[in-house]
Chain A
Amino acid sequence: MRMGLLQLNSVSKIFDTITAVDRISFALAEGEFLSLLGPSGSGKTTTLQMIAGLTHPSSGEILLAGRPIGPLPPYKRDIGMVFQNYALFPHLTVARNIAFPLEMRRMRRAEIARRVAAVLKLVDLSGFEGRYPQQLSGGQQQRVALARAIVFEPKLLLMDEPLGALDKKLREQMQLEIKHLHKRLGVSIVYVTHDQDEALVMSDRIGVFNQGRLEQIGTVEELYEQPTTRFVAEFVGETNVIRGEVRDGANGCCILETAEGPLRGRARQAVTTGSAALISVRPERLRLAAGQPARSDGDGIQGHICEVIYMGRLRKYVLDTAGGQKLIVARQVAGVEANSFAVGDAVVATFQPEDAVVLQDAHEHGDK
């Protein structure tokens, strides 16, 4: 286990009557890239601002390199931050913007000039020293903001939706650049985004936020394969959720009685027989066959195809199930059209029990 650089212990932020951040705890290892992922208003930006010192926690404790930083004002924290709109100083040139944190640290002119030149080279903006922010494109402004936040060599870099204002292509390019920069500098990054693809591409781990709470934190694979809540299952990737009642749960395997018939899945938490629960199956883990179910290779859900969406590599089928809900099935498009179905076909969708996750129904409260 690497040394923890940053640690949040049950941190909350309450604005008047609204709990923006509700007892959040997590640790960040040195050199780690952690994304805070969640819809807008879920508390991820507030969490970032508390780490930066721009707003103070109502309760809880934040530790940086093992020391509590509660009483430290932002300018003594040595944490780099990239803002959503870049927050470049419009009256200063690119070079003066980047020199600002060094000037605040009273560095010598020659050293400042050397560092500014080096970081501009790093973000591929050499030659832009004399420009003003408004003379730059969005992507260039983004690089200047990044250069300004890393030029004083902070151990920790915070990024608040830094690519939100860029178009898709530029965003994907910048995602890779930031990722490479992260590798090169060895800096720890806490990255706030509402874009799950962005979080999946860039992060070592992801913390999923919902309504001020940290629903789950883990590697991309953990979140995808073992979501602990319905919100996480639905927010990270696409999924089908079917409601049912626990009939039998033992050895991590659980049978749910649903409107589609009995379905089996993995249960991470203990489930009580007779309680309401959900089963979540990813669209690509479902297989389709014509006609009646063949129970041998897993559980089956019967239905009719009501929509076919061709997406290049994938073909998505929307099923009207016998139990009266919509089910999405994603299949790879093979070269030959052997395994395709048309609207109106009667089919059965099957899956392996280990590909389905059983979750508690309703919103569980309390700590995980």
Chain B
Amino acid sequence: MTGAYSERFWPSLRAAFCLAIVVFLIAPMVIVAIVSLSSAPFLTFPPPGLSLQWYRKLSGSSVWLDAIATSASIMLPSAAVATAAGTAAAVGLARARIPGAGLIASLIMAPMIVPVIITAAAMLGAFRAWGLQGTRVGLILAHTTLAIPYVVFTVLAAMRLVDDRLESAALTLGATRWRAFWRITFPLILPAVLSGLLFAMVISFDELVVSIFLSSPTVRPVTVQMWSDVRGDVDPTIAAIGTLLLVFSVSALLLETALNRQRARPLVAEAAATGPEATR
């Protein structure tokens, strides 16, 4: 009796719990998206009617357009540099026998673990001394540092799946190390490199804490602009820009998932083909 009861009770409790978490996580985003379409002149939920007025206002606002342009001009170079540097670091860590490789890896990963506020304060001090505080270059450098661990992490995982005998084989077949990398290793880790690139872009575009410390009135990314707006007079423009950011991040994530699926397929096929023989 109690057995049958608990058999039904626990699964339904678990389902309810999961549902609550999903609602808790997704509801704010959905509400922001709805509010951004509000016809009311102020933040209110539910909105009295639907309108695209806030998106129209956004597209006419030089402050917001400038902020978006600034964010993009920081995101693109920092994501590119982080991807290149992070990929190189991952390849080096996975292949070369360097003394202190573990230490190097933990230093690279540090920005992921150290509280952001500490990183931000440290960068503020250093960049002020170097004259980089409040400049675009400063923000690009800062975002690059923050994004590198994500790239290294992703690419390192992919490198571990690439048999290093493939590179040895390429060498015996007449390829230099450089050509072996570009012809063999790189195509095999490319999906992970692209994932890393997307992560780096999202991290830069969404980054607030370090950006607050390093931005200036002339170089002000979207997130910092939102932060200062939220504290002043709030109208649904902020919801519109928030929705745009959300769409950007979600698309990046969906793209990354698609890339992952593509990457997993040939590896699974290969494992299936060599599986029974590998037991030798």
Chain A residues within 8 Å of B, Cβ to Cβ: 52-54, 73-75, 77-81, 83-85, 87, 89-91, 100-101, 104-105, 132-136, 138, 148-149, 152, 158, 164-166
Contact = CB atoms under 8 A, between A and B. Distances in A.
A165 B172 contact: no
Interface in B226-279: 266-267, 269-270, 272-274, 277-278
A285 to B, nearest CB: 33
Given A75-B176, A85-B165, A100 B170 contact: yes
B95 to A, nearest CB: 13
A74 B172 contact: yes
A101 B266 contact: no
A90 B188 CA distance: 8
B172 A54 contact: yes
A87 B168 contact: yes
B137 interface: no
Interface string B143-181: 000000000000000000001011011111111100100
Contacts of A133: 270
A106 to B, nearest CB: 10
B269 A87 contact: no
Contact of A87 (B163, B174, B175, B272): B163
Contacts of A101: 173-174
A148 B173 contact: yes
B173 A104 contact: yes
Given A105-B174, A134-B273, A166-B277, A87 B266 contact: no
B270 A134 contact: yes
B262 to A, nearest CB: 12
Interface in B17-44: none
A152 B174 contact: yes
Given A73-B171, A104-B173, A138 B166 contact: no
For the complex of A and B, the 5 pairs showing the least CB-CB separation, nearest first, are A104-B174, A87-B169, A101-B173, A74-B171, A81-B172
A134 B269 contact: yes
Contacts of B272: 134
Nearest to A133: B270
A75 B188 contact: no
A193 to B, nearest CB: 13
A229 B166 CA distance: 38
B179 to A, nearest CB: 7
A73 to B, nearest CB: 7
B274 A165 contact: yes
Contacts of A75: 171-176
A85 B270 CA distance: 12
Interface of B: 163, 165-166, 168-176, 179, 183-184, 187-188, 266-267, 269-270, 272-274, 277-278, 280
A136 B273 CA distance: 8
B192 to A, nearest CB: 13
Nearest to B173: A101
Contacts of B269: 134-135
Contacts of A166: 277
B166 A89 contact: yes
A362 to B, nearest CB: 34
Contacts of A89: 166, 169-170, 184
Contacts of B163: 85, 87
Contacts of A152: 173-174
B160 to A, nearest CB: 15
Contact of A81 (B169, B175, B183, B270): B169
A345 to B, nearest CB: 41
B169 A83 contact: yes
B168 A91 contact: no
A91 B171 contact: no
A158 to B, nearest CB: 8
B165 A87 contact: yes
A104 B188 CA distance: 19
Contacts of A149: 172-173
Contact of A52 (B172, B273, B278): B172
A7 B28 CA distance: 74
7 contacts: A87-B168, A89-B166, A91-B266, A100-B175, A135-B273, A138-B274, A149-B173
A108 B247 CA distance: 49
Contacts of A54: 168, 171-172
A142 B169 CA distance: 14
Contacts of A165: 274, 277-278, 280
A100, A101, A136, A152: most-surrounded residue (chain B CB, <10 A): A100
Contacts of B184: 89
A267 to B, nearest CB: 40
Nearest to B279: A165
Given A85-B163, A85-B165, A91 B175 contact: no
Contacts of B176: 73, 75
A209 to B, nearest CB: 20
